[in-house]
Amino acid sequence: MQAATIKINQTGESQTLTIEKPASGLSLQGRIRVPGDKSISHRALMLGALATGETTVEGLLLGEDPRSTAKCFSLLGASISELNAELVTVRGVGLGDLTEPIDVLDAGNSGTTMRLMLGILASHPGRFFAVTGDSSLRSRPMSRVIKPLQQMGAQIWGRAGNSLAPLAVVGQQLKPIHYHSPIASAQVKSCILLAGLMAEGETTVTEPALSRDHSERMLRAFGAQLTVDRETCSVTVTGPAKLIGQKVIVPGDISSAAFWLVAGAIVPNSELVVENVGVNPTRTGVLEALEMMGADIELQNQREAAGEPVADILVRNSAQLKGCTIAGDLIPRLIDEIPILAVAAAFAKGTTVIRDAAELRVKESDRLAVMAAQLNRMGAKITELPDGLEITGGTPLTGADVDSYTDHRIAMSLAIAALNSSGVTNIHRAEAAAISYPDFTATLQQVCQPN
């Protein structure tokens, strides 16, 4: 029995991940865990930093993105213990008492860090903050949060007409607004709600479709007065709020589990259980999409941990996937899983159409353009649409030289495509996976069993 080739070649800071399945083929087997949820990890560190007293965080994601959040909030005066997945302790400063940092706040690659933090900084009167990020983040639109913050009275300056980082913020006493967001974005919603914590009165955000609601759940648990109207997709926070440190348990990230769910569904004879995955209904669109495609997926041991639903997820490769349409209100509920769903679609029979997903063009990379180009290098038949992809599945894929474009989800999606392809795939700049999943390659090696 010859094992699969799964190896990393390091050149300076850059890694190439090489994947070649053995001539006898392979299947994926085992029970695995994925790292902590990225969205919940950021929020636990931020609310912990703003609260009075101590917050403990179990299961924090140790990826680069939450590390950026931890560094920023340490500079802002919170006392955060060394990051580890078992237990992180955050001693908060108390709402409104962040200190003026002596250096630039660097959000790295993390849109969530920058956008949520802007709401917090803008509402700290009299303090000056400089905010930047890596080259990807410095090209991502910040006007979507800056404009509503300016309506609240925020003072923010930046490149390209106050829309791109680096940014300068001088905190103000903000006033509450009712903001009708043109996009369903949890980052926009959370930014405004966090700014609203310090504004006197009711700050409401209405969005066109429901985005992830981790901020709402956690803000309530920390003691904020918050009401949700599901009918109109509106959330209202009443300020000034008081936040009190809590115990947060971070479930496994369904966005990371998604790589294994697709891998298990497309690689012949696979059977995997991903344990302890967060299955908040605002995040489970990927399960619905895979079900539409005919995947064999079962939720086991459903439970709740610190206000978030959790389950173990079993996936079996039992049937050939079939194409489907993914659009509308489903999109915000699987926004980060579209790259890996494109891989599923490339192996499915028939055509898959993904629409209403123009947001993907302003993620860590232009995920529509990059996924189409990279999978097509492997022999897929994907056409880019202005707001999505049209994927004609079922053609066998062949290994190729492909590039992550330094986007973590692209790197991991291409690795899963490579598992089910013939020949050798080299994924360049694969180190990007560490943004949300530092142990991805180790788990890949662990679950791949030669036939």
Binding site for ligand S3P (CB under 6 A): 39, 112, 185-187, 190, 212, 335-336, 359
Ramachandran quadrant class, 351 (left: phi over 0; alpha: psi -120 to 50; beta: rest): beta
Q: Which is nearer to ligand S3P, 272 or 433 (CB)?
A: 433
Residue with tokens 């029995």: 1
Q: Which amino acid is at 75?
A: L
Dist. CA 95–CA 224, nearest whole Å: 11
Dist. CA 260–CA 299, nearest whole Å: 14
Q: If we measure between CA atoms, which residue out of 411, 406, 417 comes closest to residue 382?
A: 417
29 in Cβ contact with 269 (< 8 Å): no
Residue with tokens 């063009």: 361
Dist. CA 204–CA 152, nearest whole Å: 12
Q: Which is nearer to ligand S3P, 212 or 217 (CB)?
A: 212
CB of 336 to ligand S3P, least distance (A): 5
Q: Which is nearer to ligand S3P, 188 or 397 (CB)?
A: 188
Give the count of beta carbons closer than 10 Å to the beta carbon of residue 294: 16
CB of 377 to ligand S3P, least distance (A): 25
CB of 412 to ligand S3P, least distance (A): 14
CB of 80 to ligand S3P, least distance (A): 19
Q: Which is nearer to ligand S3P, 39 or 203 (CB)?
A: 39
- Burial of residue 359 (number of CB atoms within 10 Å: 0-12, 13-18, 19+): middle
44 in Cβ contact with 250 (< 8 Å): yes
CB of 84 to ligand S3P, least distance (A): 21
Exactly one of 37, 213, 253, 336 is catalytic; which is it? Answer: 336
Dist. CA 224–CA 241, nearest whole Å: 6
Q: Which is nearer to ligand S3P, 190 or 443 (CB)?
A: 190
Active-site annotation holds for 387: no
Helix (H) or strand (E) holding 367, with range, is helix 367-377
Q: Which is nearer to ligand S3P, 110 or 425 (CB)?
A: 110
Beta pairing, strands 201-206 & 234-239 = antiparallel
Known catalytic residues are: 336
